[in-house]
Amino acid sequence: RQAATEYNRLEVLRSELQATMAAIFVAFALLLLFAAISVGLAMANRLARPISRLIVAAEQVRAGDLGARVVPAGDEPELGSLMRSFNRMTEQLSQQHRELIDANKKLEDRRRFTETVLAGVSAGVLGLDAEGRVTLPNRSAAKLLGLGREGLAGRPLAEVVPEMAGLLATARQRPERRLEDQVTLHRDGEARTLLVRIAAERGEDGAAPGYVVTFDDITELETAQRTAAWADVARRIAHEIRNPLTPIQLSAERLKRKYAGEVTSDRAVFEQYTDTIVRQVGDIRRMVDEFSAFARMPQPEPTLVDLRTLVCDGMFVQRTAHPGVAFELRMPETALMCRCDSRLVGQAITNLLQNAVEAIEGREGDVPPGEVTLSLVTEGEWIVLAIEDNGRGLPVAERARLAEPYVTTRAKGTGLGLAIVKKIAEDHGGRLLLEDRGAGAATVAGAAGARVVLVFPVPTTGERLAAAETRPAAE
């Protein structure tokens, strides 16, 4: 029995020992697990901290901060290599960004310079894409075409300027050539001649990614060339015709004096023939004088003149010569000074008034009384002299050429009157404008009469002072 009791006691002790050993084992296992976790966390933090810095730097780069850098981990060669690669990448990105900014700045400066050049040149310039749509119009192009720059951009050239469509089609077929041609534009009843050049851009694949169209208004140049040519012709004609005129006239007058008493039959016819010869010679002489006047226009000798005096003198002559025409004069009460050659400007005013009277006298049918209105005003830096009449009016076709030599609408006109007036105006820094009479005027045969305008620059203060100083000295 004692042995059984001892066995039971030992069995109890064994159970307690097993429980104790199990508890010790569990505690030791937990301690080892905690130690392993601590070591793992420490190693993970050691690895994650550089990666976290790398992630933060990457976020800074993504936000636009290309100066973000990370300190390489010295104890981890792989991470250190990764961070150094990241730093090299950000350095390259930063350098490329700076280069891109510099390139964009240069491009922007070049663009502004190009736009400034295009805005300053007198020639019109149009940039076209491969489809022929306008991409870049300059200010002169919009002005020459009579359109706004917004109205040009994005529209096909064939729609904006149909007259250039044929030249553009040729440029598309032969992009290697630089094409040039003259184009006549008709806008608002006025014809303008443009010298157009089209060049294709050169693409890497040989195709034309776009075109550049440049054009100049050569209307005035053509007019000047024709005027110079006609002046030379007029000088030669005047020289060749004037020589035989005097002998013809003298011979006719001598025939009349010598044989008028001897002619017994048809004496009236004889005198009519000789008078006709003398009269026609006089007409030819006057025409030759006009040729000479046009071919040898004198240089103006400008002085400070009150334009009202010249206007009044011209109106007085026409009123006296044409009492059947109502003349109206509108001008300021104070002096309107202009630096001009009084003889030449007076001749221009007389020519314009005479043209107005002839336009009235050339009307046909039941017409109202003739009216001529001359107005003299100052508009800004210009003196505007306008003459309106209710005559036949000006033709719409070829109106721009009416001021060229030998272009006339009258059967017996020489076509030199307006040419001389235009030359006088231009020699004084002004211009001649041919327009229709304003709305509300009495229409004659479908026309509302004509309005011819002479424009002269207002004298500067320096010119006024110089004239005031020289006047007492001259006196």
User: Residue 363 has what pLDDT?
Assistant: 80
pTM over 0.85: no
Confidence of residue 445 (pLDDT cuts 50, 70, 90): very low
pLDDT at 384: 94
* More confident: 177 or 181: 181
What confidence score (pLDDT) does residue 439 get? Answer: 43
d(CA 17, CA 456): 131
What's the CA gap between 338 and 375, in Å, rounded?
Answer: 15
Rounded-to-5 percentages of helix, strand, coil across the chain = 55, 20, 25
373: pLDDT strictly greater than 90: yes
Q: 447 pLDDT band (50/70/90 cuts)?
A: very low
Which of 37-46, 114-123, 410-419, 450-459 shows the lowest per-residue confidence on average (mean pLDDT)? 410-419
Per-residue model confidence (pLDDT) at position 372: 92
Q: Are 416 and 290 in contact (CB under 8 A)?
A: yes
pLDDT at 399 over 80: no
**What pLDDT sits at residue 446?**
44
As a whole number, mean pLDDT of residues 103-113 equals 85
What is the pLDDT averaged over residues 325-353? 90
pLDDT higher than 70, residue 347: yes
The pLDDT of residue 448 is: 65
Give 204's pLDDT tier (boundaries 50, 70, 90).
Answer: low
Largest CA distance in the chain: 207
Residue 389 near residue 437 (C-beta atoms within 8 A): yes
Beta bridge partners of 214: 125, 197
Distance CA 287, CA 302 (A): 27
Quote the pLDDT of residue 386: 94
Highest mean pLDDT out of 70-84, 228-242, 303-317: 303-317
72 dihedral zone (left: phi>0; alpha: psi -120 to 50; beta): beta
Q: What CATH topology corresponds to 303-467?
A: Heat Shock Protein 90 (3.30.565)
How many angstroms separate the CA atoms of 378 and 397, rounded?
31
Least confident piece of the model among 152-161, 406-415, 421-430: 406-415
Q: Are 282 and 245 in contact (CB under 8 A)?
A: no
Domain ranges of the chain: 1-117, 121-217, 223-295, 303-467
Give start and end residues of each alpha helix (H) in 219-364. 219-259, 267-295, 307-321, 342-361
Both tokens assigned to 321:
């010569």
pLDDT in tens, 208-250: 678 888 888 887 787 777 777 777 777 777 767 777 888 888 8
Question: Is there a contact between 90 and 66 (Cβ–Cβ < 8 Å)?
Answer: yes
What pLDDT digit, counting tens, does each position of 19-47 carry?
888 889 999 999 999 988 888 887 777 77
Residue with tokens 């303008």: 192
Instruction: Output the average pLDDT for the chain.
Output: 80
- Pick from 188, 199, 195: which is nearest to 124 by CA? 195
- Percent over 90 (pLDDT), the chain: 10
Q: In what order do the strands lie in the sheet with 179-187?
A: 134-137, 124-129, 210-217, 190-200, 179-187
Into which CATH architecture does domain 121-217 fall?
A: 2-Layer Sandwich (3.30)
* Residues in Cβ contact with 303 at an 8 Å cutoff, skipping those fewer than 6 apart: 339, 340, 341, 342, 467
Residue 45, class by beta-carbon neighbours within 10 Å (0-12 exposed, 13-18 middle, 19+ buried)?
Answer: exposed
Query: Which two three-digit tokens encode residue 84?
Result: 């150094």
